[in-house]
Amino acid sequence: MNILSTVRAAEQLSAAQRDLLTRLLEQMLVLGGGAPALKFRADHYSDVDALEELESNRWLKRENDHYIVQSIALPLLDTEPARRLLSNIERVYAVLKAQYRLTQQAQVPVSAVAVQTKLPVVDVTAALRVMLDTSIWCSGWSTDLHKEDAFVCPSETVLKHETYAKLVEEVRSWNASSPFRSMGSNVASDVEEPAQLHVDVERELPAAQASAVLSVAEDLEGMKFSLNDYYDDLEPQGVIDSVLTGKINTLRAYCETIGWQVLARQLKELAPLRGNAVEAMELVRSFVVPEVRRLVIVKATPKVTVRDREPTRVDNVLRAWPAVRACLQEFSFYDIKEVAGLAGFDVTATAHLVQKSQGGATKGQLMSAIDEQVAQMICPNRTHFLTILIEEILRRRPEAQDKLSEYLSRLGWSFVNQTLVPLSVFDVDILADTPDESRHDLLKAAQRLRDGDLGGAISAACGAVDAATSKVYDELGLGDPTKASFQERCRKAVLAKGVLIELDRQLDELGWIQSDLVPFKKNLEGALNQGAYVMQMLRSHMGDVHGTKPILRSLVFDCLRWAELLVGSLVERSESA
């Protein structure tokens, strides 16, 4: 921080607050971690109001009932421990900056930092622990910095700021106080809280958002299962409970995003399901879905030319927001601000939202403010925002990868190679020409994949191929298909259907020479045969509608693609020139 900003910041802290921060910092350095918050508050109960104000202004962070003095407060503490820690931090920062120029985001062992700074490992660990409260300089780190193999990974941001103090100054500016903050901490408490709503009100939504939420509601309404399936077998019951819970939670996320808090609370009380899916579906069909349809008002949009209209695929990226939102809201209030700010959220618009022990802003209010900005973003900016946001979430919490992937897939999206991409599982042209039996199973496979039922998706994909080969067996009198293995049925159906002969004719008409045709057909025949074998093995080892077998998600996509290829090879359709 520069001298002027430091002086101004210091003026905001009373002598008592600086004394509290100094005592907490000394405890942190002795304990090698946060200071026990409950004990410290008990020992300094007369200063509780001052402690809470320090929290609300982000000089102090409370995490797992431990107080942690934030690095932005260190320049204001004119004590020997604070000065020593600041000096150590700058030495560590300088080493990490030099290391980034050499190896970029490669892991830097904490022990190596200690050697280069000529500091004890314990001092380097203490410095890094404080630095990580402003983690934009870092692309990754060990969960436990005290381990012998602990490491940190610097990010490109270290090159942007000459010193760590400069970096901290920028972070502090993101949360700059609004004009109202200077009037005192009681401003927020003087504002009367709105009365609790008992009925949600209709909302005029952009067409894309309205379509998305109605689609989710209709998908939930369309879930069908028989009473016998549900009550007579506990394993399918668990699968149905899980899938239906996922759909309910998806709709709840949309309701929270839009601001229908009453309906969101009712959906939250409904899930997770444990043996009560039948009753839940009654409520869904009789109240939840009609209520969603009542609340949605599609916003009229001006007519645009084809040149001005953006692709529907880009518009639909808004459907991915509830999945990302569900993971974002698991962070703390101020971490949400920081992560969203790094992704492009205008944090100055929420400077008035400050967390306090009484009368302060809630995490829900902050998320609603982010919802509003996301809805107002133009499509390319929204896509960029969500992409960076997902990167930041996974960088800070890699363990959220599986949960986020599941949420996104339910909404028809995936995050691959730092890119948010729509999941279009099957070629619509093939589906249009596919016989009803196979088409039904292919669509079922796609739906199960979206809902996270991976074993069921494999079973349905194999069922689609079964239906296609059975049809060929029946039409051409090839015998009983159930007496042949899955791979043999596919091979025999492809040969009997004359797929390769017809392909030979078509490629010959296109001018292919025989020296190219022969090896091409041979390899294609081998590929189809091998694909059938792959599906046969996946069905045996992973295909399970009860969801009890271990499954690799990547292989499920492969299985569905092979099913599309095999079914497509057996479909008769006219070829356009």
Q: How far apart are CA 120 and CA 103, in angstroms?
A: 24
Read off the tokens for 407.
Answer: 């949420």
Q: How many CB atoms lie within 10 A of CB 549?
A: 13
**pLDDT band at 91; cut points 50, 70, 90:** very high
Give residue 455's pLDDT.
Answer: 84
Residues 6 or more apart in contact with residue 197 via CB below 8 angstroms: 261, 262
What gap in Å lies between CA 282 and CA 217, rounded to an integer? 14
Q: Any idea what DSSP says for residue 177?
A: P
**Mean pLDDT, range 41-68, rounded to an integer:** 85
Domain extents in the chain: 1-177, 203-298, 312-418, 428-569
Q: Answer for the pair 280, 258: CB distance below 8 angstroms, yes or no.
A: no
pLDDT at 116: 94
For 246-258, b/e burial (b = at least 16 CB within 10 A) is bbbbbbbbbbbbb
Q: Tell me the DSSP string of 274-326.
A: SS-HHHHHHHIIIIIHHHHHHHEEEPP-----TTTPPPHHHHGGGGGHHHHHH
Are the beta carbons of 449 and 556 closer than 8 angstroms?
A: yes
Q: How confident is the model at residue 118 (pLDDT cuts 50, 70, 90)?
A: very high
Q: Which amino acid is at 14?
A: S
What are 138's strand-pairing partners? 154
pLDDT at 346 exceeding the cut of 60: yes
Cα distance between residue 323 and residue 362, in whole Å: 21
CA distance 354 to 334: 9
Q: Which two tokens stand for residue 564?
A: 């599309």
Give the Cβ contact number of residue 564 at 10 Å: 22
Q: Could you read off the pLDDT of 283-335 as tens digits, one per residue?
A: 888 888 888 888 888 765 554 443 443 444 445 677 788 889 989 989 999 89
> What is the enclosing helix (H) or strand (E) of 35?
strand 35-36
Q: Please tell me the predicted confidence (pLDDT) of residue 577.
A: 36
Other C-beta atoms lying within 10 Å of the C-beta of residue 148: 8
Higher pLDDT, 368 or 421: 368
Please check the confidence at residue 93 and state whether its pLDDT lies above 90. yes
Report helix, strand or coil for 562.
helix
Q: Would you call 373 exposed, middle or buried from its count of C-beta atoms within 10 A (0-12, 13-18, 19+)? A: middle
